[in-house]
Structure 1
Amino acid sequence: MRQGDDASRLEHAVRQVLARVGAEAATLSWETGQDALPTLAVQISPEGKFSLQRLTLELEAAFHNLGGELKALPVLEAGGYGRAAFQGLLGRARLRLVVLREAAPPPPAKPKPKGDKPGKLAVILDDAGYSEAAVASLATLPPQVAVAVLPNAPASAAVAEALRAQGRELLLHMPMEPEGNGANPGDDALVVGLEPGEVRARLERALAVVGPVAGVNNHMGSRATSDAELMRHFMKALAGRGLYFLDSRTTPASVAASLAREAGIRTLRRDVFLDVVEDEGAVRSALATAASLARSKGQAVAIGHVHPLTLRVLHEELSRLSGVTLVRPSALAH
C-alpha cells in the first residue's frame, strides 16, 4: 500500500474517533519527520468536554481494527503540562496525539517584513540538578539559554556551580504542589496551607543550595500556583531579593504572575512548552511555534527540560531561527 493511502486511512480513523468522543475541535496538521514518515499531529485543548478514558479506548480499538500500533507516551511535568499523549503507527503513517491542559498556542504567524525588529525569544530548561553529565551537553547551547535548577536533586549544588561557570543565567526551580496524588515535587516543596514563616524558610533553604540565581520559577505547582494565600506568602518572601519570577503556568488557573507583580517583583510568563512529550517532531514544532509567537508578539518565552532529545533539537535548530533574537529571560522580565 502506498504511503498516501496509509495517511488517508489514519486521518479518517482519527477524525472518526474524535467525532465519537466529542473532540471534533482538535487541531490536526501533517508534518514530515526526519525519517520521512508523514505524521498526523493532533492537539486537543481542554475546552472540549470528553472522556479521556473513552478517547483512549476508542483509539486503541481503531488502531487494532486497522492492524496498526498504538502506545501511550509519557507526559512530562505531571503537575500540569499535559493530560495524556499517544503515538500510533499505521503502515507508513504516524500519529502523535497530545491532550493538553490549556489552550493550544495560536498557529504560526507570517514572518514580519524585512526591516522590522526581530522578535525576542527566551528559552529556559527546567529540572537540572539530577546529573552533572548534562552540564557538558548544555555547554553546546547558546549562552542566552537559561537553566532552572532544582534545590532537592542529588547534584543540585554542583550542577548550579558548573552552569554558572559557563556564564549561564540560572533560575531556582522551586518545587511546588501539583494537582492530584500522582506526582511528587520532592522534599521541601511549597504546599497549600504552609505558614508564612515556613514558606520563607523553604525558599531560603532552596536558594542556599542552588546559590546565586537571577530568578525563580515553579517546578510542577498546578495546585500551589492557583492558591492565592500560598502565593501571597511566597511572593512576600521573594520580594526585595532582586530576583524575577517566571510563571511556568502549569495550570491556566495560576495567580502567581499577578501576585508577583502586586509584590513589585519583575515577572514573565511561559508561552510555549517545548517538550510536553519526548518526541522529536513535537519539540521541533513547539520551537517553531515559540519563534512564530516571538515574531508576531515581539517576545515569547519557551520552557523545556534538560533531556537529551530536547538539547539535541535546540542545538540543531536555534541557530536556524529567522526573525528572532535569542535573549536571556531577565531581558524580558518587567
Structure 2
Amino acid sequence: MSSNLNLLLAAWALSLVILVGGGLFLEVTHEAAPVHAPMADPDTDADISPAPTTMADDGMVGDSRVDDRATDDMPRTQDAPLTAAPETMSPQTSVPDGTAETVTVKTPDGAPESDRPLQSVQDTAPAAGTAPQDSAVSTAPSPESAPVSRRRYPQPPNRSDPELLEEAPEGLLPRISRDGRMPAEVYAARGPSVGDRRPRIALMISELGLRSRVTQRAIADLPAPVALAFSPYGSNLDDWGRRAREMGHEIFIMVPMEPVNYPRDDPGPLALLVEQTAQQNISLLRSSLAQMTGYAGVVNHMGSRFTAASDSLRPILEDIKKRGLMFVDSRASQYSRAARMADALSMAVAVNNRYVDNSISSEDIAAQLQQLENQARTAGAAMGIGRPYPVTLEAVKLWAAGLAERGFVLVPVTAIANRQPLQ
C-alpha cells in the first residue's frame, strides 16, 4: 500500500513540474516575440495599419485604403472637394534624410493645364528629432523667427492701406484711393533698375493658404521676387498676406472660374460661371476679393470655359480694373481671351507662359524653367506658375540661385506688366 502511494505522489509531482515548466516556457516565448504595432499617422495622431500599395484608378500610386489622402500632393483632373484635405506625407523628393522617392505625374493629354481643383499640398516630413508642426496658423513660425531671404527689391508695405479699401456687404474690397493710388502700384515690389536690360522672368506660386506648413515654407524660403497667390478658400489669409509682404513678396488673390468640363471639375462655391448673370458673377468675384487685403492683383484659377466667353468675362475685367488691380491670365486653355481683353481695357496685365510643374519631378521642373529662360530671351519677358509642391520649391530655389549668372533677372510679376507678347 505504501509503495502504491509513493508511486501516485511521484506521478503527481511530475505532472505538476511539466505543467509549471510549460507555462513558463510559453510566457517567455510570448514576451520575446516581436510585436507588430500599428503605425501612427504623424499628422492625425491616429493609428493606421500598413496597407499594400496599389495603382489607383487614375494611374497614380496610392494607398489602397486611403487613395484620396495619398494623392493630395499630386496634380488632379478628377473630381475633388475644394476644402483642405488631411495633411499627408508628400511623395516628392527633398525629405531631409534623403529617403523619399521622386514621383512623376503628368497631366493627361488634351486636358487643360490649369483646370484642376484647388488642392491641399503637403510639405515634406520634418527632420529627425523635430516635432511635427500643427496645421493651425497660430503655430507657424513668426516672420521674426523665420529665415530671412536675401531681398533684391524693397518689400511691399506690410500693412494694408485703409485708403485703398472700401466697405461692402461682402467685406473689405480694394479700390483706387481718392488721390489716385492703385493697389497694383502700392503693393508692387519695385522691379529692376531702368538701365537693367537683362531678360525678365517672373514666377508665381499659386494655391497657397490651404495648408499652414507649406504656405509658411513658400513665404520664408522662396526668393522675394517670387509672387504668391492665395486661394479664396484658405484661412487666415490676411495674416498670411502680411507675413508674405514682410518677406518681400507680392501677393495675388485667386478667382475660381468655370472650366470646360464643369461640373466634373468643380472650382467651388465662389466660381464664376458662364450661365450666371453678370451681376451674379460680380457678386461672387467680390466675395473672393474680400477674403484678404493688400494684394496687387488677381489671377484666375481654372476657367478654361469662362476665360473664352467674352460676354461673361468683360464685366469681370471691368470690375477688376476699376479697383486698380493687375490681372494675370493663368492661360487655363489656349482659347483664353482674358489677356487680350484686359490689354484692350488698358489694364496692367501679365500672362502665364507655362506651368512649370505639371510633371512633378525635379528634372522635368528644371526643364520647364529652362524653357521659361528661352522664352524670356526671345521675348524680353516671360512668366511661369507653379504649385507649392516641396519638389517645386526646391527646384525654384536652386534655379533662381544661378539665374543672374546666366544673364537673366528674376522680377516681381508687376515688373512684367504689359511687357509680354499676347497670344
Q: TM-score, normalised by structure 1?
A: 0.65
- Map of 2:258 onto structure 1: 177
- Cα deviation, residue 271, structure 1: 0.8
Tell me if the contact between 1:188 and 1:202 (Cα under 8 Å) persists in the aligned partners: yes
- Cα deviation, residue 202, structure 1: 1.7
Q: Report Cα offsets for 1:140-193 as digits up to 9, x if no partner.
A: 111100011111224544432322232210111111111213322122111112
- Map of 2:224 onto structure 1: 143
Counterpart among 219, 231, 237 of residue 313 in structure 2: 231
Tell me if the contact between 1:175 and 1:186 (Cα under 8 Å) persists in the aligned partners: yes
Residues 1:225 and 1:174: Cα distance change in structure 2 (over 3 Å):
same
- Map of 2:128 onto structure 1: none
CA distance in 1, matches of 2:242, 2:269: 21
- Cα deviation, residue 99, structure 1: 5.0
- Cα deviation, residue 310, structure 1: 0.6
- Map of 1:330 onto structure 2: 414
CA distance in 2, matches of 1:147, 1:303: 10
SS in 2 for 1:296: helix
- Map of 1:54 onto structure 2: none
CA distance in 1, matches of 2:228, 2:247: 11
Aligned partner letter, 1:76? P
Q: Which moved further from structure 2: 177-186 or 142-151? A: 177-186
CA distance in 2, matches of 1:293, 1:103: 21
SS in 2 for 1:292: helix
Q: Which has the higher strand share?
A: 1
CA distance in 2, matches of 1:136, 1:239: 30
Q: Which moved further from structure 2: 256-265 or 123-132? A: 256-265
Matched, 1:125 2:205: yes
Tell me if the contact between 2:200 and 2:408 (Cα under 8 Å) persists in the aligned partners: yes
- Cα deviation, residue 325, structure 1: 0.3
CA distance in 2, matches of 1:151, 1:176: 12
* Unaligned ranges ≥5, structure 1: 1-70, 80-93, 105-115
* Unaligned ranges ≥5, structure 2: 1-58, 62-70, 79-102, 114-195, 419-423
Tell me if the contact between 1:146 and 1:171 (Cα under 8 Å) persists in the aligned partners: yes
CA distance in 2, matches of 1:251, 1:131: 27
Q: Report Cα offsets for 1:255-308 as digits up to 9, x if no partner.
A: 111221222211111111101122222111101111121122211001111121
Aligned partner letter, 1:189? A
- Map of 1:222 onto structure 2: 304
Counterpart among 217, 226, 240 of residue 159 in structure 1: 240
CA distance in 2, matches of 1:184, 1:103: 14
Q: TM-score, normalised by structure 2?
A: 0.52
- Map of 1:76 onto structure 2: 75
Tell me if the contact between 1:128 and 1:159 (Cα under 8 Å) persists in the aligned partners: no
The within-5 A match list for 1:158-307 is 158-180=239-261, 181-307=263-389
CA distance in 2, matches of 1:187, 1:224: 15
Q: Report Cα offsets for 1:73-98 as digits up to 9, x if no partner.
A: 8873649xxxxxxxxxxxxxx99876
CA distance in 2, matches of 1:131, 1:302: 22
SS in 2 for 1:300: strand
SS in 2 for 1:175: strand
User: How many residue pairs get matched?
Assistant: 240
Residues 1:99 and 1:188: Cα distance change in structure 2 (over 3 Å):
closer
Residues 1:186 and 1:97: Cα distance change in structure 2 (over 3 Å):
closer
Tell me if the contact between 1:123 and 1:302 (Cα under 8 Å) persists in the aligned partners: yes
Residues 1:290 and 1:102: Cα distance change in structure 2 (over 3 Å):
farther
Task: Please tell me the root mean square deviation across aligned C-alpha atoms, in Å.
Answer: 2.7
SS in 1 for 2:350: strand
Residues 1:95 and 1:278: Cα distance change in structure 2 (over 3 Å):
closer
Percent identity between the two aligned chains: 27
Residues 1:328 and 1:121: Cα distance change in structure 2 (over 3 Å):
same
Residues 1:103 and 1:204: Cα distance change in structure 2 (over 3 Å):
closer
Aligned partner letter, 2:245? R
